[in-house]
Amino acid sequence: MNLILRAAGLAVLLAGTLEADVLVLKDGSKVGGKVVDKNERYEVTTDQGLRSYLKEEVEKVLTSPKELVGESDKHFEEAKQEYQAALQISDPSQQTAKLKETLTKVKGVRETLSMARDLFPDDKFSDLDQRLVQVIQLMRLLRERTTTDLAQGRENRGGGGAGGGASASIAPVSPPSPEALATAFSALGDPVKRADPLVRTVARETFRCQRTNFPQAFDIATAAMIFLSRPESEWRISGAAAKSLQDYFAKPWLKDPVKLTPAVHQEAAAWLLDQINSVRRADPNGSVEALTLFGVGHYANAPFSADGEKTARALGLMVKNGIAGTPEGYVVRELDSWIAGGEFDIAIITWMKEYREIDTPAVRYVWAYALLRVAQEKKKGFDRPISALETVKVSDAPTRDHLLALEKSIKVEASCSYCGGEGKFRCPNCCGKKVTQTNCPDCKGTGKKQLPGRGLRASEVQCFTCRGRGYLQRIVCEKCKEGFVLCGQCNGKSRKPPELDEICTLSPCPDCDGRGWSFRTVVWACRSCMGLGQKITPKADPSKMLP
């Protein structure tokens, strides 16, 4: 019996609760949360707490995302048909124009679905996620058709092995110096010189500055630069792997790097692959990471062919649409492409819904950056990028220090998620009115009534119904001050939502020329920027940049 009474009582309490969770206000704004009808007003329990709106402020109450989504499904189907039709257009300029027009339509559908999902986050509306993924996939196809593809870099190689870069080099401009490049390779191959920190630093900078001058050696110089950027102990080179690496450095391929050709690169990649297999047979637990790095460096400048694809797979790379790369590199490239277009929320959704199994520090770092940009744009939710950065697990101290400094930079500048940086919010008890009164229906709130006199003369008397007050009931809210209450989260001391440059500054990564991946034709996430393509300088401690 008690259980029945409790259930009945609960039903009464929930009777005014609407299953729909969105109020559309007359000013066009939308408020999502748990909505409860309170006679003259609606109370909405949002992520930021309780909000209250008078019914006269509300345009309508939505009961499902269908009213927000509208004809987006129809527009999406039209866009798919337009995409297929555009592929049949022979004139490249007309085709590109049509594809861009279709992309604009698809972006509109995406924005509608994203807004609907933000306002209706319940699991019962998870079908919106699948529809979003389908829209993103079409956007990806349209984007790739209207931008230069990385694979063109491989296909357009000349006989000298010049690679087609994905972006112009931003490395410091240095005059071409074959001698400097040869000296750097000589230092790379000498164990004694490599042990000298100063020599390592000079050689690394030489590789970075000179590689653009010698496209035929760009990617192998990049591999050398990556190798020298980490202490040799981190590569865990020992035994057969150490001997193979030193034998490789002694080979003639690196003696005259400016004369490297695609055929020579192919020969070197094949030799390194044989060494990797030998080391694995001799010591299954031995590290072949360094050997693989240099193998990839040669492969990146080798001719693209069926044999080349086989070599790529043997080196642990995946090949998609003629582009080789690591699983991590592919995901980083995908997220970076959305971020570059300002589609930060798509970058977040793409990893969470399509590539969640690829979970590395670099991927999480790029994801955290996308979360930061979304928070900065929406002016709330700064706790999300902070939490995401805390999940980036790395072993080296400089990178850990950078992550901590970036977290601190966000925490110092972030506005309160509860009040949006206002330090206060409209009182949910009185809806910001402070004083609520019911006007007298007899005198219309004036407190006076006119009595008819003779001719044009009339006399005015005090309204008997309200005793001259003009109102029947007047309630002064005792829970607020001037219609507002201090935010309990920040105690009224929050700051305005920060701009990005108040948290950190960005500069293109010189190690990957701002691409996010190190090699020009192999998608290998850049360690120097964690795959973002940008070096982030935390405002809390500008010295704590990624190494």
Which are the contacts of 57, defined by CB distance < 8 A and separation ≥ 6?
25, 26, 431
**Amino acid identity at 505:** T
Residues 247 and 314 in one domain: yes
Residues 372 and 314 in one domain: no
Residues 193 and 315 in one domain: yes
Residues 443 and 502 in one domain: no
Residue 152 lies in a domain: no
Residues 186 and 296 in one domain: yes
Give the separation between CA 420 and CA 417, rounded to whole angstroms.
Answer: 5
Please say whether the beta carbons of 80 and 73 come within 8 A.
no
Residue 444 confidence (pLDDT): 87
What is each CA distance from 439 to 299, 379, 468, in whole angstroms?
Answer: 83, 40, 11
Residue 481 confidence (pLDDT): 83
Residue 320 confidence (pLDDT): 85
Residue 306 confidence (pLDDT): 63
- Render each residue's pLDDT in the chain as its tens digit; 547 residues: 343 333 333 333 333 445 557 888 988 888 888 888 888 888 888 877 788 888 888 898 888 888 889 899 999 999 999 999 999 999 989 999 999 999 999 999 999 999 998 888 888 888 898 899 999 999 999 988 876 444 444 333 333 332 333 344 455 557 899 999 999 999 999 999 999 999 999 999 999 999 999 999 999 999 999 999 988 888 988 889 999 999 999 999 898 999 999 999 999 999 999 999 999 998 888 899 999 999 999 999 888 766 778 888 899 999 888 889 999 999 999 999 999 989 999 999 999 989 999 999 999 999 999 999 999 998 888 999 999 999 999 988 999 999 999 999 999 999 887 787 888 888 888 888 888 888 899 888 888 888 776 555 667 888 988 888 888 888 888 888 888 888 878 887 777 889 999 999 999 999 999 999 999 889 999 999 999 999 999 999 999 999 8
CB atoms within 10 A of CB 13: 10
Give the separation between CA 18 and CA 93, rounded to whole angstroms.
Answer: 52
Residue 201 confidence (pLDDT): 94
Q: Tell me the whole-structure pTM to 2 decimals.
A: 0.81
Residues 381 and 466 in one domain: no
| Domain CATH code at residue 477 | 2.10.230
Residues 46 and 74 in one domain: no
Q: Which residues pair with 318 in a beta bridge?
A: 325
Residues 454 and 374 in one domain: no
Domain final position from 305, 325, 345: 325
What SS3 state is found at 486? strand
What SS3 state is found at 293? helix
Residue 419 lies in a domain: no
- Edge-to-edge strand order for the sheet containing 34-38? 34-38, 41-46, 49-54
Residues 317 and 228 in one domain: yes
Q: What are phi and psi of 437, to 5 degrees?
A: -140, 150
Give the separation between CA 274 and CA 269, rounded to whole angstroms.
Answer: 9
317's tokens? 């790379």
Please say whether the beta carbons of 140 and 355 come within 8 A.
no
DSSP state of 172: P
Residues 19 and 92 in one domain: no
What SS3 state is found at 340? helix
Give the separation between CA 363 and CA 525, rounded to whole angstroms.
Answer: 9
Q: What is the helix (H) or strand (E) element at residue 535, kind and residue range?
A: strand 534-538
Which are the contacts of 14, defined by CB distance < 8 A and separation ≥ 6?
none
What is each CA distance from 399 to 70, 392, 472, 540, in whole angstroms?
Answer: 46, 10, 68, 15
Residues 127 and 24 in one domain: no
Whole domain around residue 473: which residue ranges?
Answer: 424-486
